[in-house]
Amino acid sequence: MAAVSESIQIPRATWYRAPVKNVESGGVSNERVGRAGLRWRTTVIDGLSLLAFAWSIPFAILLIGAPLALTISLVLWLGRLARGAF
């Protein structure tokens, strides 16, 4: 039984890690790498990739929609031509 004067240790969950800002970590060669400067680069790269994705959507619509529209218009034209022939 623990005495009243002894501190009781409460076990912590080992999977939880609190977010740490501006941490410098050592790599394989124990070089110090600043992490604060990497955040804006990641944000810029994420923004550029999202912009590229947004600009590619209209091109994908044209790539799929243009042949489909041409096919429908051709079928309608052939139908009108056949209707006028009889």
Full-model pTM: 0.39
Please report, for residues 1, 44, 45, 58, 84, the alpha-carbon distance to residue 70 in angstroms, rounded to integers and kept in the order given.
Answer: 86, 40, 38, 17, 21
Rounded CA-CA distance 53/58 in Å is 10
Residue with tokens 């124990």: 30
Q: What is the domain partition of the chain in residue ranges?
A: 26-85
In this model, does residue 71 exceed pLDDT 80? yes
Count each helix (H run) and each strand (E run) in the chain, helices first. 1, 2
Structure confidence by residue, pLDDT tens digits, 11-41:
665 555 555 555 555 445 555 555 556 677 7
